[in-house]
Structure 1
């Protein structure tokens, strides 16, 4: 197994986490023990490069945002993480840039005479932008110079210890562009791992044709909370079938929360469903990530307005010791479930087989020669029975046990995980 097969990421949005300039990147070093205590071994950082506002309107890919510190601060954080066995992933925003990005400013000043004229695409009186956002100017990915720039950025920071890249808005970039730059970066940094943000489209093509290693599994994310809210396990079962198909070709990046979506504790209409969502995340195949704060069951609703992300990107206290006791039991559950995954590392590529699918009930198994794991979930407010293959199931987590005959009597909203 390669290192990404063992990765479990703790996802931080640095600008919000550190108070938008109140503290700098070195403050994150004090949170590395928290990450490790959870059972994670990867630090996934949101945007850290100089930008105009929220980090996704980059102005200089080779400079750390002054609100976060300096290049030395970032490298020191990477070095400290590595000394603890923690990999660092950066957020590569290469689909678009801010309007004060120096090559774009040069084009605005010099027009067609600018050496960067082919970096952008003129449309009417302005230039092509990302999804209607005037302040996010789209790069021209047909330009060889843009490919040179993006590859150069990733090579620069990979040489300073970055192990992985989240490729923002990867779905908006032509697939051949990714193949060009990932091949070049891998030639100098063979172990680097690329995960593309893919919300819609042909997930597998971005891996097989674009040279990525993984993509964000939004289909599974949606199916988890939606099926629980609707008490409809059939939706999740369908998504797990799709997930199995993906696992035949690559290992998706799985999550129930990130910096772009309403927090899972707010998304679920029934609080007793949170353990179900986490049980699925940490048992199915994939490379899981935890969005900072979700391990404490924090709430936050994303709104479609200016500043609508603020609630899901809050400031954190200076150190983990400054956290209050809210959500400690949810953190303990994360640790328990991650512990199960650590003891069964084969889960990263495991496919699911559904055995019980009925009115509010879903039960599935994973594994074969390396071991077996069974999951039984009751989504509803009535008692139910789940039937799984007979085995000497050892109880690992949940409210009830699975008996040797493979039967789990599930009270309302209960769940169980067993291994054999």
Structure 2
């Protein structure tokens, strides 16, 4: 994971804020004290010593403070765009048919392979900046549009560079098993061998991977092929996750659970066996309402069953050029509530505490507590539920990253 370093600073106060700490909204106005890049105290404002405001800088007053938002599933680094496929879908062509015709992921693969690292960085940076302006302080970026060692490495290097040059934490995920490259047509097992025998070892050795993902689906890779990828990931002590049960039920969630996956993502077709498996494994269910919306899906994830099972639900943009060209995480809050019937509190947990869990970062990210890094957002609203209630830009007053205000 990459991000900028903390610098020394005098204590700052955020006074009289409505505080959502990643789990719940506090009943009374709270005060946060930030020093040396960390939250040092959180107290009710009614109990705050008068001397604090005399001695320290009041950086913010009133409004709402939340943890920095976490987008735990994106494909931000890619070449070209797929506006023509958007048009095709509106003319009645299915996502699966577009993929079968050589479009979909493979059209982005061709554009990504043709782009230089600098080209990919230049196109990804404004997408990332849009997320940051929306309150995001941590982003997962997947590879998966290179489908060769050279081009997967290129994508991951760009993702690392974004985290080095911008005030944001970047988690990189290797998604070599995203689609079958054209040069391996009809030879999926041979391609998976390349992923396992060459790509993962080389990229792990270069410290470019934080996790490994697969696309387990009838238009992508089988359970057996995905399991081989997981076995290799575990040899290199890399956590796994899966794009599963998006278009059909291939029982990918049960496979993910056997390997203690961080998350299962999409899961529109998740069944009871999959629910019980991920409950036992502690795996997070990541909901991607942007893809559900863009693809005009009608088969909802089993939200009530997930809720009853006590499975944590994360929410992410799935920002990508094909099925979710959306780079606004706060919009996903509204979509999760209106399309999937989450409560505003569940939605906020989904982009803070549970999103951190989906990235294996629960110990450091996703909640506001004394001693933790000061990564939070100060919003010009009266109640945290407003973030999910309305779709409205320019509500972010301050974005704080490692104790420093970046917007």
TM-score, length-scaled by structure 1: 0.39
Larger Rg computed on CA atoms = 1
Bigger relative CO (Cα 8 Å, ≥ 6 apart): 2
TM-score w.r.t. length of structure 2:
0.40
